[in-house]
Amino acid sequence: MLYGRLPGFGLSVDGRRMARQAAEYVHSLERPVSALVVSPLQRTRESAEPFVELFGAEPFIDDRVIEPTNVFEGRRMKQALANPLNWRHLSRPAVPSWGEPYERIVARMVAAMDDAWNRVPSGDVVVVSHQLPIWVTHLALSHQPTRHDPRKRRCALSSVTSFERRDGAGGPRFVEVAYATPASTAGAVDVGAV
């Protein structure tokens, strides 16, 4: 089922284990974490708990790093896509026509990243978000089209995508510098929702 922004969906025992492994991985890098920015959804707030414990950072809830809107929210994707009445929502995948436009998602994510950067005097900021916002932000900052096949995202459960802010000819911008999958996802189900 596509949870989207539905309330009341927390992490499973496996999800909590994976979030802990991601936090332990970041902790093992021995980098100073100054701030923690978190989506307001329950599952991301729960994913942030090990970061709070390991780094002592108080979570800052930022609505801009939330899951995007989606007409398929609360539905089982296989069944929803089999229904011809839903095909109209798939008419413009580059936008996408089923939910919040990719360019708007990227704009709000980058704005949240900029604000987090400007809010701390030094150190790293951990942002706990969702697969789609992370993936389309990666694509946009890498100068790739944001249109993509959701089943082919390189953004696993509890993965860590790292960005640095660098000065360039057009001014400062974020550049992806690393990607890691520290969490064991054995038994987890994630089919790359729309």
* Residue boundaries of the structural domains of the chain: 13-180
Rounded CA gap, 22 and 112, in Å?
Answer: 21
Tell me the pLDDT tens digit for each residue of 127-156: 999 999 999 999 999 999 999 988 888 888
Predicted model pTM: 0.90
Tell me the pLDDT tens digit for each residue of 60-119: 999 999 999 999 999 998 899 899 999 999 999 889 999 999 999 999 999 999 999 999
Residue with tokens 């995202």: 153
Q: Tell me the C-alpha to C-alpha distance, in Å, between residue 180 and each of 122, 157, 159, 169.
A: 23, 11, 6, 29
Rounded CA gap, 70 and 49, in Å?
Answer: 27
CATH number of 13-180: 3.40.50.1240
Q: Are 127 and 65 in contact (CB under 8 A)?
A: yes
pLDDT at 168 over 90: no
Q: Tell me the C-alpha to C-alpha distance, in Å, between residue 80 and each of 44, 46, 87, 89, 194.
A: 25, 28, 9, 10, 11
pLDDT value of residue 31: 94
pLDDT at 193 over 80: no
Give mean pLDDT, residues 157-172.
90
Count of H-run helices and E-run strands, the chain: 5, 5
Provide the mean pLDDT of the chain. 92
pLDDT at 188 over 70: no
